[in-house]
C-alpha cells in the first residue's frame, strides 16, 4: 500500500479506513462490541491499510480503533473534534483532547482535525489556538481541519496555526476541492484527505444499472448523504451515465469502478489519501482496494473521466459549504444530527431604542464606540480591522485580513438580526503601500451576489500590521 507523509513523524496509508460507518451500525443505540469490532479490523492492518479516521461523534469508533492500535502497533489514529458552535473555552478544548486520548487509549493523538461550523464567530479560530497549545504540549502530534473552505484554511495558516491537512469531500461527483482549495494546499504544503470518494458505495459496480433508491432509512447514512450529491449533480440518470463511463475505463484497465474512482482522486496533486469507509464485520473490500497500487490512469482514461464529470452539474460553492448553508448535503438533509442552535456571536445590548454590539476589543471601550449599532432597520458597522484576541488574523496578507474583517462584520450583523446580504454600502481603507487588488478581489468574492455601493481609498491606517479597515451599512429588508 502506498504511503504519504502528512507531517513530520506522521506517515499514513494512502487508502485510509474511515469509521463513521460504525455510528451507522450503532443506529438505534446498540453499541458494537469493541473487542469483536477491533478483531474484524485486523485484516485491514495486515493489508497495510493501517490508518484509521474517526471523530468524537462516530459512536464507538475511537474505542474500537484504540483497542486495535493497542494490540497491533503501527496504526495511525486520526480523529476529529466537532464541538457545537459557540464561544471557545480552554476547559472545553482540554476536555475534548482528554476524552479522545482516553477513548483511543493513547497518550498522543496522531492527527486531531477540527470542524469549523461558522466563520462569523471567531470561536473557530480561538479553538484552533487552544488546540495548538495542546499540540505544543505533546498531546497531539499534528493538527488538521475538516470541511474548511479555501479562504479560511489560508487564513488559519497565515495566522500561524500549524495545520497539516484538511479533510474534505472529493470524488468524481464532487470536484470542488480541485479549485481554490488545491491551490491553497499547494501554496502552503497542506494535504487533503478525501472522503466521499466512493459516494458511500454508490460509485461502484453494485449500483451500475440499478434503479434510483429513495433517500430513506433503508440506505446506509453514507448512501443517504451522497444520494443528495447525486441530486445536486443532475439526478440518477446522469449519475448512471457517469457510472457507465467509469465502467468503460475500468474495463480497459481490468479493474473495478471503485478502483477508478479512488485512483482518480489519489492522483490529484493536493491529495495525500482517500478515506474509504468500512463496516467492521460486514462486507470487506480489502482485496479490491489493494488493487489501487497496481494500475495507473493513462491520459486517455483521465480525459474520459474528466469528460464524464463535466457532463454533471458541479456541486455549488466551496468545500464544506454543505454543512453551512442549504442544501445541506448530510445524511438527514439538515444539521439536526450535529447542531442544536447557532448562538449569536456577540451579545447585543439595548438602550434608548438602539441595539449595540461590542466585540471585546480594548479600543471599543476606550474610544467609546460599538462594533455595530442598530437603529430601526438600519445597522451601521464601525471601521473593522483584522485584530482579534491580541493577534492579527491573516498575518501580513491583505486578502486574508479582508476575509477576517468581513467575517467579523458578518458576526456583528448576525448579532443584531442581520446578515451580509443586508449590506448596502461598504467603505474600504487600505494602508499606504499595500497592494489594493487582493483586497478588492476578496471583497468581490464575498459580495458577488450582494453588490453593495463601495468606496475604496488609500489611508494611513493607525497600525503598521493592520493593512485593511472596512466599515459597512446595512438595511434590513
Ligand X SMILES: NC(=O)c1ccc[n+]([C@@H]2O[C@H](COP(=O)([O-])OP(=O)(O)OC[C@H]3O[C@@H](n4cnc5c(N)ncnc54)[C@H](OP(=O)(O)O)[C@@H]3O)[C@@H](O)[C@H]2O)c1
Q: 448, exposed or middle or buried, with CB in 10 Å at 0-12, 13-18, 19+?
A: exposed
Q: What angle do CA 307, 310, 315 make, to 5 degrees?
A: 150
Say whether residue 53 binds ligand X (CB under 6 A): yes
Quote the cell numbers at residue 103.
Answer: 477513548
In the block, residue with C-alpha cell 495507473? 296
| Cα 268 to Cα 178, 251, 275, distances in angstroms | 8, 22, 14
- Residue 249-268 contact track with ligand X, rule CB under 6 A, x = bound: -------x-x----------
Of 144 and 345, which CB lies nearer to ligand X in the complex structure? 144
Alpha carbon 274 to its chain's center: 15
Question: In this structure, are residues 81 and 92 in contact, taking their beta carbons and an 8 Å threshold?
Answer: no
Using CB under 6 A, which residues numbered 71 to 110 contact ligand X? none
Of 91 and 287, which CB lies nearer to ligand X in the complex structure? 287
Say whether residue 283 binds ligand X (CB under 6 A): yes
Q: 211, exposed or middle or buried, with CB in 10 Å at 0-12, 13-18, 19+?
A: exposed
Of 28 and 376, which CB lies nearer to ligand X in the complex structure? 28
Say whether residue 166 binds ligand X (CB under 6 A): no
Provide, rounded to whole angstroms, the least separation between the CB of residue 194 and ligand X.
8
Dihedral through CA 354, CA 359, CA 365, CA 367, nearest 10? Answer: -90
What would you report as the CA-atom Rg of the chain, rounded to the nearest whole angstrom?
23
Of 200 and 345, which CB lies nearer to ligand X in the complex structure? 200
Say whether residue 23 binds ligand X (CB under 6 A): no
Provide, rounded to whole angstroms, the least separation between the CB of residue 283 and ligand X.
4
- Residue 213-232 contact track with ligand X, rule CB under 6 A, x = bound: ---------x----------
Point out which span in 33-41, 182-190, 197-205, 357-365 binds ligand X (CB under 6 A). 197-205
Instruction: Indicate the residue whose CB is closest to ligand X.
Output: 18
Say whether residue 277 binds ligand X (CB under 6 A): yes
Say whether residue 207 binds ligand X (CB under 6 A): no
- Residue 125-154 contact track with ligand X, rule CB under 6 A, x = bound: ---------------------xx-------
Give the helix ranges, DSSP H, for 79-213: 90-104, 123-136, 150-158, 180-188
Point out which span in 228-236, 281-289, 359-367, 418-426 binds ligand X (CB under 6 A). 281-289
Quote the cell numbers at residue 11.
Answer: 506517515
Provide, rounded to whole angstroms, the least separation between the CB of residue 64 and ligand X.
12
Non-local CB neighbours of 183 within 8 Å, separated by 6+ positions:
150
Of 63 and 258, which CB lies nearer to ligand X in the complex structure? 258
Largest Cα–Cα distance of the chain, in whole Å? Answer: 75
**Residue of 59, 83, 200, 418 interacting with ligand X (CB under 6 A):** 200
Point out which span in 183-191, 194-202, 237-245, 463-471 binds ligand X (CB under 6 A). 194-202
Provide, rounded to whole angstroms, the least separation between the CB of residue 101 and ligand X.
19
Q: How many residues in total does the chain contain?
A: 477
Provide, rounded to whole angstroms, the least separation between the CB of residue 18 and ligand X.
2
Provide, rounded to whole angstroms, the least separation between the CB of residue 204 and ligand X.
3
Of 297 and 372, which CB lies nearer to ligand X in the complex structure? 297
Q: How do 51-53 and 15-18 pair as beta strands?
A: parallel
- In DSSP notation, 202-234 reads TSSGGGTTPPPPPSSTTS-HHHHHHHHHHHHTT
Give the helix ranges, DSSP H, for 340-416: 362-366, 398-415
Quote the cell numbers at residue 29.
Answer: 443505540
Say whether residue 288 binds ligand X (CB under 6 A): yes
Catalog residues that contact ligand X under the rule CB under 6 A: 18-21, 53, 146-147, 167, 195-201, 204, 222, 256, 258, 275-277, 279, 282-283, 285, 288-289
Amino acid at each position: 500500500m502506498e504511503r504519504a507523509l502528512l507531517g513530520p513523524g506522521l506517515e499514513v496509508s494512502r487508502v485510509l479506513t474511515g469509521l463513521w460507518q460504525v455510528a451507522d451500525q450503532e443506529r438505534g443505540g446498540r453499541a458494537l462490541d469493541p473487542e469483536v469490532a477491533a478483531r474484524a479490523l485486523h485484516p485491514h492492518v495486515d493489508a497495510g491499510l493501517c490508518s484509521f479516521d474517526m471523530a468524537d461523534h462516530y459512536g464507538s469508533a475511537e474505542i474500537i480503533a484504540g483497542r486495535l492500535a493497542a494490540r497491533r502497533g503501527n496504526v495511525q489514529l486520526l480523529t476529529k473534534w466537532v464541538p457545537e458552535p459557540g464561544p471557545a473555552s480552554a476547559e472545553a478544548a482540554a476536555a475534548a483532547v482528554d476524552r479522545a486520548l482516553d477513548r483511543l487509549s493513547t497518550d498522543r493523538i496522531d492527527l486531531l482535525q477540527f470542524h469549523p461550523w461558522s466563520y462569523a464567530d471567531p470561536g473557530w479560530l480561538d479553538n484552533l489556538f487552544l488546540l495548538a497549545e495542546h499540540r505544543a504540549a505533546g498531546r497531539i502530534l499534528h493538527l488538521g481541519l475538516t470541511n474548511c473552505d479555501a479562504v479560511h484554511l489560508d487564513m488559519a495558516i497565515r495566522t500561524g496555526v500549524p495545520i497539516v491537512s484538511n479533510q474534505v469531500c472529493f470524488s468524481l461527483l464532487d470536484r470542488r476541492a480541485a479549485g481554490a482549495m488545491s491551490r491553497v494546499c499547494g501554496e502552503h504544503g497542506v494535504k487533503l484527505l478525501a472522503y466521499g470518494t466512493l459516494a458511500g458505495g454508490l460509485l461502484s459496480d453494485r449500483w451500475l444499472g440499478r434503479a434510483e433508491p429513495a433517500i430513506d432509512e433503508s440506505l446506509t447514512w453514507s448512501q443517504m448523504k451522497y444520494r443528495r450529491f447525486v441530486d445536486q449533480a443532475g439526478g440518477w440518470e446522469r449519475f448512471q451515465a457517469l457510472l457507465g463511463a467509469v465502467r468503460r475505463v475500468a474495463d480497459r484497465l481490468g479493474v473495478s469502478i471503485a478502483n477508478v474512482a479512488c485512483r482518480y482522486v489519489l492522483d490529484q496533486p493536493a491529495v495525500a489519501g482517500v478515506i474509504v469507509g468500512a463496516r467492521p464485520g460486514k462486507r470487506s473490500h480489502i482485496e479490491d482496494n489493494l488493487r489501487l497500487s497496481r494500475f495507473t490512469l493513462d491520459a486517455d482514461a483521465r480525459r474520459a473521466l474528466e469528460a464524464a464529470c463535466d457532463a454533471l452539474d458541479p456541486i455549488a460553492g466551496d468545500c464544506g459549504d454543505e454543512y453551512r448553508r442549504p442544501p445541506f448535503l448530510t445524511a438527514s438533509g439538515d444539521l439536526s444530527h450535529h447542531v442544536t442552535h447557532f448562538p449569536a456571536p456577540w451579545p447585543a445590548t439595548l438602550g434608548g431604542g438602539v441595539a449595540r454590539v461590542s466585540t471585546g476589543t480594548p479600543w471599543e471601550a476606550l474610544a467609546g464606540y460599538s462594533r455595530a449599532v442598530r437603529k430601526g432597520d438600519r445597522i451601521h458597522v464601525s471601521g473593522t480591522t483584522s485584530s482579534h484576541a491580541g493577534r492579527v488574523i491573516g498575518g501580513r496578507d491583505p486578502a486574508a485580513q479582508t476575509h477576517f474583517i468581513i467575517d467579523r462584520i458578518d458576526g456583528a450583523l448576525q448579532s443584531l438580526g442581520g446578515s451580509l446580504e443586508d449590506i448596502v454600502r461598504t467603505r474600504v481603507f487600505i494602508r499606504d503601500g499595500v497592494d489594493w487588488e487582493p483586497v478588492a478581489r476578496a471583497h468581490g468574492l464575498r459580495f458577488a451576489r450582494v453588490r453593495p455601493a463601495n468606496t475604496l481609498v488609500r489611508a494611513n491606517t493607525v497600525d503598521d500590521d493592520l493593512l485593511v479597515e472596512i466599515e459597512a451599512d446595512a438595511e434590513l429588508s
